Structure 1
């Protein structure tokens, strides 16, 4: 039998503060109608002073462990995807490790922005496949509110904070991660980036984006990489039960589904409630759909995302 990485449990966490478009419009030159028409976003969660990427990641990890029925001590790998770590170093994954009471396991961060969870997933899957790990926490967690320019209405309305996590477990059988494909093209740095960093400005910086160009690349890249991943698994769009996409913009979700001739009702959408939570958005949406009963054991899932860099990727999972 083939040794595969099976999703044994899912979890998520959101900051306590939930901000509507109307509340945002009190301090930003925007409106509920403007935001909904262009993005589909209605709410986002914003981290408070005591909430960090690490605390959200820890809460999501605890929920995933409870869902899987697995003790924290049984985890031997933590891969945390984030563009907004608690500190420049050490890795936020080690803070999660300590908070969970795990005395020793491999723990590190992956930085691929909105595609980070897909990158982290393939890293963990590879380590499980080669026997380097048996049970892994794969987490996407962000506090993008810390790097937004709140005077730039074209970007600040798009993002929110949150975390999502899964427990991967080595099992033999037909379920698990069947195929994945990742890409990167660094020529597009100026379309989506943060204008700061330790080795350049010595500051955290703020997010900058040219939305129209990003939209065009996203629709093409995401539809192509989903086709690539399905082909690697020997499957086609007609085999897909659910697409769990990066929650960037409702129009991107619609356009990508149309390119693959997938009905909209087979796409998990949470962007209206959470906005774009970057690396957290795919596992967060997955957890929502698992817990509300839409995604069931045996379903074929396509997870996909694209982020700054550009980076993008997709994974085919038999849940």
Structure 2
């Protein structure tokens, strides 16, 4: 029996934050602010005091209510991917299980994968369900860096900071019923991992007043953009070949939401019209790891996905060290 996806849930913290939180009106009109790589979304949401586990619980509880089931006894496998884990040692998975009142057989804090993690988690869960090791799985993606990381007084004036938003997306899978997971593809390119780091001279755990932020080597930006343009279509094309369809046959394409430039380039490369590539960037910004499940959940509630639609989820991570795609025949 193929793995089925039963439902999605999402949570967005706090009221919408306008672009003027980062820049003045004059700065927003500057050439760099108009660059498609750095153009700020209209709004985004920021974490204030919520822990990642709290965000997951807020996204998951309404989903379980809709499904008419309690998490206790209904989650064999719990996987989390959190940009800033609640605890650097224990992660967020165990606390999430405690808040939901469940005791999974497996709790995996999957720290790698970033914006490609949802497809990666789908493939991992499908493998474990297919092996008989588990029958149910809860996948949890949390972006919580905008309000805690990119909102630092000096960092928030960086052109990177204004595109980030916070949110959480979850999905519930099982070995019976649900929307059929048809195939998944994961591409690893570990040689590119060193091209993403943190700015500054101190280690992140060392004391100091220097603000740290995500950093890309300036001389590698062109290469990173090329990887991003290439990797998502490559992963999507691979999963479409697995299931014997052309990329043009995709009914709904859901990708991570880094910026408008990547979104346009991806759909053009795949031959997917703009109306079939869901764009949530202006409302939520770059949700990083949570971009795919949150965007899809909101599209579901808006009625933009019909039963029988071929849905493809895709994304690339960091500076291009991973990409993933997964195809689902939606029903539910």
TM-score (norm 1): 0.90
Picking from 9, 12, 30, the partner of 1:11 is 9
3-state SS of 1:276 partner = coil
Contact persistence 2:309–2:329 (CA under 8 A): yes
Instruction: Report which stretch shifted further, 304-313 or 284-293.
Output: 304-313
Which position in structure 2 is the counterpart of 1:180? 184
In structure 2, C-alpha distance between the alignment counterparts of 1:217 and 1:286, rounded to whole Å: 24
Which position in structure 2 is the counterpart of 1:56? 55
Contact persistence 1:8–1:67 (CA under 8 A): no
Which position in structure 2 is the counterpart of 1:160? 165
In structure 1, C-alpha distance between the alignment counterparts of 2:278 and 2:29, rounded to whole Å: 22
Alignment of 1:141 with 2:142, yes or no, is yes
Unaligned residue ranges in structure 2 (runs of 5+): none
Contact persistence 1:12–1:60 (CA under 8 A): yes
* Map 1:95-134 → 2, pairs under 5 A: 95-111=95-111, 112-134=113-135
Which position in structure 1 is the counterpart of 2:262? 252
Which position in structure 1 is the counterpart of 2:81? 81
3-state SS of 1:157 partner = helix
Instruction: Report which stretch shifted further, 204-213 or 308-317.
Output: 204-213
* Map 1:35-54 → 2, pairs under 5 A: 35=33, 38=36, 39=39, 41-48=41-48, 50-54=49-53
Contact persistence 1:11–1:165 (CA under 8 A): yes
3-state SS of 2:186 partner = strand
1:284: Cα distance to partner? 0.3
Which position in structure 2 is the counterpart of 1:208? 215
Alignment of 1:220 with 2:230, yes or no, is yes
TM-score (norm 2): 0.86
Cα separation, partners in 2 of 1:105 and 1:21, compared to 1, 3 Å = same
Q: How many residue pairs align between the two structures?
A: 313
Contact persistence 1:21–1:32 (CA under 8 A): no
Alignment of 1:170 with 2:180, yes or no, is no
Contact persistence 2:59–2:169 (CA under 8 A): yes
In structure 1, C-alpha distance between the alignment counterparts of 2:309 and 2:23, rounded to whole Å: 40
Which position in structure 2 is the counterpart of 1:279? 289
Cα root mean square deviation, aligned: 2.5
In structure 2, C-alpha distance between the alignment counterparts of 1:121 and 1:194, rounded to whole Å: 29
Q: Deviations over 1:7-41 (max 9, x none)?
A: 10110001113211123224x98416764652462
In structure 1, C-alpha distance between the alignment counterparts of 2:284 and 2:227, rounded to whole Å: 23
Instruction: Report which stretch shifted further, 183-192 or 299-308.
Output: 183-192
Would you tell me which structure has more strand in proportion to its own residues? 1
Which position in structure 1 is the counterpart of 2:323? 312
In structure 2, C-alpha distance between the alignment counterparts of 1:32 and 1:63, rounded to whole Å: 40
1:78: Cα distance to partner? 0.8
In structure 1, C-alpha distance between the alignment counterparts of 2:62 and 2:288, rounded to whole Å: 20
Contact persistence 1:155–1:208 (CA under 8 A): no
